[in-house]
Amino acid sequence: MLKHLLASAIFTALCGAAMAETLEVPLVWLRHAEPERPVLSNLDPIPEDRGRAGAELGLADNLTTGKFLGQDYSLEIIEIAAEDDPLPDARAALGRSSFVVLDAPAATLLAIADLPEAQGAVLFNASSSDMSLRGADCRANLLHTKTSFAMQTDALMQFAQAKRWTDLVMITGNAPEDADFAAALTASAIKFGLEIAQTKPWIFDADMRRNAAQEVPLFTQDLADHDLLLVADVANDFARYIAYNAWEPRPIAGSEGLRPVSWAPVVEQWGAAQLHSRFSDLASRDMTPRDYAAWAAVRAVGEAVTRTNSADPATLRAYLLSDAFELAGFKGRPLSFRSWNGQLRQPIPLVTRAALVAQAPLEGFLHQRTELDTLGIDQPETTCTAFD
Amino acid sequence: MTYKPILLAIPLLATPAVADEMWISNEKDDTISVIDIETLEVVRTIEVGERPRGITFSKDYSVLYVCASDSDTVQVIDPESGEVLHELPSGEDPEQFVLHPDNRHLYIANEDDAITTVVDTETRTVVAQISVGIEPEGMAVSPDGTIAITTSETTNMAHWIDTETQELFANTLVDSRPRHAEFIKDGTELWVSAEIGGTISVFDVATQEEITKIDFAVDGVHPDRVQPVGFEMTAGDTHAFVALGPSNHVAVVNADTYEVEDYILVGRRVWHMDFNADRSLVFTTNGVSGDVTVIDVASREAIKSIKVGRFPWGAAFRPTDN
């Protein structure tokens, strides 16, 4: 009810002042490139404009709405090479805009969030699933539209629990992010009453494109009995070669097989087909999770500006973190930000390459606030204190 | 069934009165299912263009208009033969439309193009294209024909079009993902449903000011899943029947008090609906379960589910007695 009164008040204000003068809302999309990991397969090249195209689509969406309300948006694109220091450019950008969408590794996100120029700004993490950014290392000026590893792995474990696939084993890659993903899988298994009986690190450096049929059966032969084989290999370097080559005929999940993701071309319901279609018109390719995160960040700013008719970062941050904010994210439920760590709460599609298998939160996983909070770090367990 | 031939043999009934029909567009089957309202059974299945969604009859019911979204056209169909008579230029990806009271102009929402296209069904030409918000969907025309409405799903607005000039004269914000709009009470009120926002906004048409918002709450269903989409008014506009999407319920709203009086369990992902001739029955399309629920308006009870094609979307009533 309060929400409606507030919305009505804003609405009335808008009617009065709508066309009077143009409200300028400058945004920045800034990428600090990550050194790319070499992977065996050539099938999934990383698009040059990954993330950026999502931000550009968000801008186009905002502009269309803005033209009816006298609100004008702009998007400055800044791309910084992996070996270069991102801070000088970030400082300069924060002088021009208080709304910066970041596509960068966790360390860069923190360094930018800690800049004096960033205090009072609203930054968006549209790239990192790192758990510490939502926990002990959280920053009050850094919101997260990218899903955390825990949200994704909770989604997968809900599915395993619903299927009564209680015996799990895991193969883990050697990259630091693989370890983070594996840790999240392990924690989620415990959260939903499952157990990963055995974890085995991937040891091969041979080209599995030729050797998988010989090597993988032997490698997996001594795994404990299991219902589901988990693979933690975020870059999908070797996970794709495990399928159908393992010793036991069991489904695989994690980085290959059934994958918990924030976005995928196979998500077609809830109007998602329209978002895909607008995106592919713009970028001539499929929309990746990072594109989705960047799109959501730009749209979140747009939605908050629309509803408050303000471009003041403090006003918009307060609105974004309030109960009144909701973003139509093409996943069947309104998206909103967690007030305790700035994470955009959202459903997690569980997908194969060809179809949506299920979407978490799954039926039966209940929560006193919203079922979306069964995914990821919940308020009672957060170690983030910056949002108090 | 076995009695029918005997009845037909009676000379007085040589041309028997065919029962009224409910026409249902099946989005994922590229067909229309025709339901006999007497027997509540599907009596015909008609093949149409790709991804049929919005359907409506001409005012005299002589032709049916179908938005064949993926064929990028509006098809004009002879309801007797089921044949496609011709196609109308519609702009890209027509989703939903409304026929102007002049029985001549179709106002079409082009979902992928952020455009409302106005088509003259007689000359078969586009007479205007109006830029609106992203993903236009809900369409309505006031009973006097002076105002057309387009709602845009991502821009979250109702766009008010002056049908004289074919230009926008007002844009009003509503909650997230507006889906459907209707003028009611002789065109004095405009109702707009917002799927993700979970509300219906009620506007005073004279001032375009919001009068109130209607909220919905279904026992045992999280508010996020209570998503109002299509709605239609009972006789005299006293009550609205509102499809609540994935909550699998239809709400009955008192149009004077704006209070919800009842929730009726129907099939899965209930989307649009239409009434029979005397508005004693309402037929809802349930996309996910692939069926149509028939609700008795007086008792507010679902009386039958009728299997139709895949992903039923729109419903349009066709009288056959006149």
**CA angle centred on B170, ends B167 and B175, rounded to 5°:** 125
Q: Indicate which of B171, B200, B201 best probes the interface with A, i.e. most A CBs within 10 Å of its own CB.
A: B171
Give A335→chain B minimum CA distance, Å: 9
Closest CB from B114, B197, B213 relative to A64: B114
Q: Do B154 and A370 touch (CB under 8 A)?
A: no
Class of domain A157-259: alpha beta
Q: Are A386 and A321 in contact (CB under 8 A)?
A: no
Q: Are A251 and A229 in contact (CB under 8 A)?
A: yes
Spell out the residues 6+ positions from residue A205 whose beta carbon is closer than 8 angstroms to its own. none
d(CA A265, CA A354): 9
pLDDT of residue B131: 93
Q: Do B177 and A271 touch (CB under 8 A)?
A: yes
Q: Are B174 and B151 in contact (CB under 8 A)?
A: yes
Q: Give yes or no for A11 touching B (CB within 8 A).
A: yes
CATH number of A2-147+264-346: 3.40.50.2300
Give A66→chain B minimum CA distance, Å: 9
pLDDT of residue A38: 81
Task: Please name the residue of chain B whose CA is at the shortest distance from the CA of residue A280.
Answer: B112
- Write the DSSP symbol of residue A82: T
How does pLDDT run across B78-116, given as a tens digit for each residue? 999 999 999 999 988 899 999 999 999 999 999 888 899
Q: Give yes or no for A274 touching B (CB within 8 A).
A: yes
Q: Indicate which of B199, B201, B224 best probes the interface with A, i.e. most A CBs within 10 Å of its own CB.
A: B224
Which region among A1-5, A54-58, B36-40, B56-60 has the lowest average model confidence (pLDDT)? A1-5
CA-CA distances (angstroms) from residue A53 to A25, A44, A71, B288? 19, 17, 22, 32
The pair phi, psi for residue B87, each rounded to 5°, is -120, 150
Q: How close are the terminal C-alpha atoms of chain B, in Å?
A: 25
Give A12→chain B minimum CA distance, Å: 8
Q: Give yes or no for A327 touching B (CB within 8 A).
A: yes
Give B120→chain A minimum CA distance, Å: 27
pLDDT at A74 over 90: yes
pLDDT at A2 over 90: no
How does pLDDT run across A312-369, given as a tens digit for each residue? 999 999 999 999 999 999 998 999 999 999 999 999 999 999 999 999 999 999 999 9
> What three-state secondary structure class fits A365?
coil
d(CA A263, CA A249): 28
Q: Give yes or no for A61 touching B (CB within 8 A).
A: yes
* Residue type present at position A364: G
d(CA B9, CA A378): 73
Classify residue B124 as left (phi > 0), alpha (psi -120 to 50) or beta: left
d(CA B78, CA B232): 25
Contacts of A274 in chain B (CB under 8 A): 111-112, 135, 153-154
Percent of chain A clearing pLDDT 70 (strictly above): 95
Q: Do A306 and B156 touch (CB under 8 A)?
A: yes
- What stretches in chain B show pLDDT beneath 70? 1-17, 321-322
Using pLDDT thresholds of 50, 70 and 90, give the confidence band for residue A137.
very high
Give B2→chain A minimum CA distance, Å: 44
Closest CB from B133, B168, B224 relative to A65: B133
Structure tokens at B277: 């001739």
Q: Do A370 and B215 touch (CB under 8 A)?
A: no
Q: Are B73 and B90 in contact (CB under 8 A)?
A: yes
Contacts of A14 in chain B (CB under 8 A): 173
For residue A361, whether the previous peptide bond is cis, meaning omega lies within 30 degrees of 0, is yes
Q: Mean pLDDT over residues A123-147, rounded?
A: 97
- Write the DSSP symbol of residue A356: E
Q: Mean pLDDT over residues A69-79, rounded?
A: 96
Classify residue A342 as left (phi > 0), alpha (psi -120 to 50) or beta: left
Give B32→chain A minimum CA distance, Å: 21
Which region among A156-165, A339-348, A378-387, B16-25 has the lowest average model confidence (pLDDT)? B16-25
ipTM for the predicted complex = 0.73
Spell out the residues 6+ positions from residue A176 whose beta carbon is closer than 8 angstroms to its own. none
How many CB atoms within 10 Å of residue A248? 14
Closest CB from A12, A274, A372 relative to B112: A274
Q: Mean pLDDT over residues A22-49, rounded?
A: 91
d(CA A242, CA A255): 11
Residue A151 CA to chain centroid, in angstroms?
9
d(CA A37, CA A85): 20
Q: Where in chain A is the domain with CATH 3.40.50.2300?
A: 2-147+264-346, 157-259
Pairing between β-strand B167-173 and β-strand B157-162 as defined by DSSP bridges: antiparallel
Q: Do B172 and A333 touch (CB under 8 A)?
A: no
Burial of A133 (0-12, 13-18, 19+ CB in 10 A): buried
d(CA B125, CA B104): 11
Contacts of B196 in chain A (CB under 8 A): 326, 328, 333-334
How does pLDDT run across A263-290, given as a tens digit for each residue? 999 999 888 998 999 999 999 999 999 9
Scored b (16 or more CB within 10 A) or e, B260-282 reads beebbebbebbbbbbbbeebebb
**pTM, whole model, 2 decimals?**
0.84
Q: Do A68 and B222 touch (CB under 8 A)?
A: no
Contacts of B206 in chain A (CB under 8 A): none
* Per-chain mean pLDDT for chain A: 92
Q: Indicate which of A2, A4, A369 best probes the interface with B, i.e. most B CBs within 10 Å of its own CB.
A: A4
Q: Do A333 and B213 touch (CB under 8 A)?
A: no
pLDDT of residue A20: 57
Task: Please name the residue of chain A whose CA is at the shortest distance from the CA of residue B156.
Answer: A65
Give me the residue label for tokens 């070996």: A83
Closest CB from B154, B208, B224 relative to A333: B224
Closest CB from A14, A278, A328 relative to B173: A14
Q: Do B196 and A307 touch (CB under 8 A)?
A: no
